[in-house]
Chain A
Amino acid sequence: MSDIALEVTDLKKHFPIKQGIVFKSTVGQVKAVDGVSLQLRKGETLGVVGESGCGKSTLAKMLVGLEKPTGGSISVRGEDVTRLGKAGMRRLRRNVQMVFQDPYTSLNPRMTVGDIIGEPFEIHEDAVPKSGRRRAVQDLLDMVGLNPDHINRYPHQFSGGQRQRIGIARALALKPEILICDEPVSALDVSIQGQVINLLEQLQDDLGLSYVFIAHDLSVVRHISDRVAVMYLGRVVEIGNEDEIYDSPMHPYTQALLSAVPVPDPTLRGHRDEIILEGDVPSPANPPSGCRFRTRCWKATDKCASEEPLLQIRQGAPHANACHFAAPRDVVHAVD
């Protein structure tokens, strides 16, 4: 066995744009994810950062099989899972589980906590024998730091942070190896965020889990990740170890993103090299030619419009980036 838990190669998800009521015709494609290649190693946390619309949530959904890719492959333990049938998908889902962003809408309000966490056992009947299920749910509650006696309570009786713990317990019910966390703490208050992050790190140590951790909060991602991928308009523009990305970003977008994060230290005010990007992210239905970032980039030349930069290791850095003119730039401890 290799040490790769999950591998994604040239993954694509294009959503058709349809027009007409009776005679529907496809008039375009929203290229939400457009050629992403990643590897998740066993026991590591891969952070995925990017702004809204960059395709990070669509990527997460494809990884757990909630969206079917329109191209490329996802392999889990060396097996391509994009062409699996129903039975195969079931096997996949046992191994790859998801923690959702919103702890308010991702739990059924009419089910008790015990039913929510125990539901996976009813679908995968061989996981735990019927007689042991209640006990198993209570163990899960205990594992995520909730009182096992609260098994008969309903979601509304819990706070946001506690609900997120319930979501984590449900994801862990089938003992998966990989957890896809899509913005797991962004709906929580700062003081509660820390509790959930600590729990996720604790569980990773205890159970040897691998995480794909998707978030827009760069300091949270830095704290939890071993490696980080930066996405822009459906593509990975830079990927590397956490310290490589944060200390010596090479891609202009990564640099701008890091420099835009406000630092909770008033003594740095006015001393930061802030790169203010102009404009908004272009529409993924009609991305710019060549490099997708060129419309907002201060380094862009004609070459960027005609030639798409590939994600590869370039001169000056040990990690891969996708920029013709990649160069280091001191971003003054943007995220400390």
Chain B
Amino acid sequence: MADVKFQSEILPELDPSAPLLDVRDLQVEFRTRDGIAKAVNGANFTVNRGETLAIVGESGSGKSVTSQAIMGILETPPAKIAGGEVLFHGVDLLTLSKERKRRVRANHVAMVFQDALSALNPVYTVGFQLAELFRKHRGMSKAEAKKKSLELLDLVKIPAAAQRINEYPHQFSGGMRQRVMIAMALALDPDLLIADEPTTALDVTVQAQIMRLLAEIQAERQMGLILITHDLGVVADVADKISVMYAGRIVEQAPVLDLFGKPAHPYTKALLRSIPRLDTKGQKLEVIEGLPPVLTNIPPGCAFAARCHYAQDVCRTDIPLLETVAADRAAACHFSAEVINGE
């Protein structure tokens, strides 16, 4: 705890006893031609130091928008934060001024994006982009900044870093580029790292390298990590706890072993069953019939009801709230007791 920057001049009101990140009832809307799309419709979760939270969901479930809202990098408009709080050690990041947000982003919360090629600036060398962070936020001289950048490239295990520091992003392979992104995110020693599909564009052997690197650095620095992904395999490997999102809502929250062992929401259960496994060889895969709802026109009641085996009349009228179903876990389903018991 000692290394938390509580004496930070950026956020003097930080409360060390509050959780690292506490997101409360976050709501994000997009204005579209077809009406208002509720991309995030009441997200609640907390992340503590040294903890890995995985946010899992399919495209359009709101997981990336959630992370962008936390980072304060949503384009507004078209997006609009319609409600909720993002508390970083008790300070609501949503209410900060633009300049303070910028400094929080650099020093406290950092992000790794999916597509490193478009996230890096193609006309500057990798070394320049890294050094810029130290020069702008730490007021270092060029030489000092370069030295620090080199240390970072070594930290993320880029071979021959001294030569590569002068190369441009396009000269790096996908995996190496992702390492540069991670180096940039770690540069100012953030307390929380958000990784949005950090390995989706990479091959499996490279994915394994990157995930191992992230895990090592996280353990060493005791960062909080939010991992956004659709890959349940990666989640099973690294997450401490999981939030499953569907149509803008969190439908289930549980520690990793509980979620995989006994899912409490029909969507989680169906998702886990739809992965091809050894024992499904030669059989039809279990699938979730139908499609997720259109976000501009979410039906009343539970958004998953139309695709759900457990659905009853109540599901089509009453929105199930995210309620505690067992120790440390919650689900938003009227029939979570039946689901969890495998009935």
- Seen from chain A, the residues whose Cβ lies within 8 Å of a Cβ on chain B are 51-52, 159, 161, 189-195, 197-198, 201, 216, 218-220, 222-224, 242, 256-257, 260-269, 274, 276-277, 279-281, 333, 335-336
Determine the chain A residues whose CB is within 8 A of the CB of B231 once the complex forms: 262
CB-CB under 8 A for A262 and B274, given A51-B203, A191-B58, A194-B285: no
Contact B233 A264 (CB under 8 A): yes
Partner of B236, one of A242, A257, A266: A266
Tell me the minimal C-beta distance from B302 to chain A in angstroms.
Answer: 16
Residue of chain B at shortest CB distance from A247: B278
Q: Indicate if the CB atoms of A264 and B260 lie closer than 8 Å.
A: yes
- State whether B175 touches A190 (Cβ < 8 A): no
The answer to whether B233 and A191 touch across the interface, beta carbons within 8 angstroms, is no
Q: Which residue from A52, A191, A276 sits with its C-beta under 8 Å from B209?
A: A276
Q: A51-B203, A219-B276, A261-B204 are in contact. Are A190 and B281 (CB under 8 A)?
A: no
In the complex, what's the smallest C-beta–C-beta distance from A145 to chain B, in angstroms?
10
How far apart sit A192 and B288, CA to CA, in the bound complex (Å)? 7
Contact A191 to B203, CB < 8 A, known contacts A219-B277, A263-B233, A267-B257: no
Interface-centre pick from B211, B235, B237 (highest chain A CB count, 10 A) = B237
- Counting contact residues on chain B (CB < 8 A from A), the size range is 35 or more
CB nearest neighbor in A for B280: A223
B257's partner among A266, A274, A276, A336 (CB-CB below 8 A) is A266
Which of B176, B205, B257, B288 has the largest count of A CB atoms less than 10 A from its CB? B205
Query: Which residues of chain B are within 8 angstroms of A256 by Cβ–Cβ distance?
Result: 205
Q: For B10, list chain A residues within 8 Å (CB).
A: none
| Chain A nearest Cβ from B168, distance in angstroms | 17
Q: Which residues of B contact A193 (CB under 8 A)?
A: 274
For the complex, is B125 an interface residue (Cβ under 8 Å from A)?
A: no
Q: Pick from A195, A201, A257, A266 the residue with the most CB of B within 10 Å.
A: A266
Q: Hey, which chain A residues are within 8 Å of B233, CB to CB?
A: 261-264
Pick from A189, A242, A260, A274 the residue with the most CB of B within 10 Å.
Answer: A189
Q: Are the CB atoms of A263 and B58 closer together than 8 Å?
A: no
Task: Report B-chain residues with C-beta under 8 Å of the C-beta of A198.
Answer: 284-285, 287
A216 to B206, CA, bound (A): 13
Enumerate B172-187 residues with CB–CB distance to A below 8 Å: 173-176
Query: How far is B287's CA from A198's CA once the two chains are assembled, in angstroms?
Result: 9
17 more A-B contacts (CB under 8 A) besides A189-B59, A264-B272, A276-B208? A51-B204, A159-B291, A189-B58, A190-B232, A191-B274, A193-B274, A218-B204, A219-B277, A223-B276, A257-B204, A260-B204, A264-B235, A266-B237, A266-B256, A266-B260, A267-B257, A280-B173
> Is the Cβ of B287 less than 8 Å from the Cβ of A194?
yes
Contact string against A for B residues 186-224, beta-carbon threshold 8 Å, 1 for contact and 0 otherwise: 000000000000000001111111011000000000000
Distance A45 CA – B276 CA, assembled complex (angstroms): 16
B: which residues have CB within 8 A of A? 58-59, 159, 173-176, 203-209, 211-212, 230-237, 239, 256-257, 260-261, 270-272, 274-278, 280-281, 284-289, 291
Main secondary structure of the interface of B (DSSP, over half): helix
Instruction: Tell me the complex Cα distance, A260–B280, Å.
Output: 21
Is there contact, CB below 8 Å, between A264 and B270?
Answer: no
With A and B bound together, what is the CA distance between A261 and B207 in angstroms?
Answer: 9
Q: Nearest Cβ in chain A — how far from B40, in angstroms?
A: 18
- Give every chain B residue within 8 A of A222 (Cβ-Cβ): 276, 278, 281
Contact between chains at B205 and A191 (CB < 8 Å): no
A-B pairs with beta carbons under 8 Å apart, 20 shown = A51-B205, A189-B59, A190-B58, A194-B276, A194-B286, A195-B287, A195-B289, A220-B276, A223-B281, A257-B204, A257-B205, A261-B204, A263-B236, A264-B235, A264-B260, A264-B272, A264-B275, A267-B260, A276-B205, A280-B173
**Nearest neighbor of B281 in chain A, beta-carbon distance:** A223
**Measured CA separation A216–B204 after assembly (Å):** 8
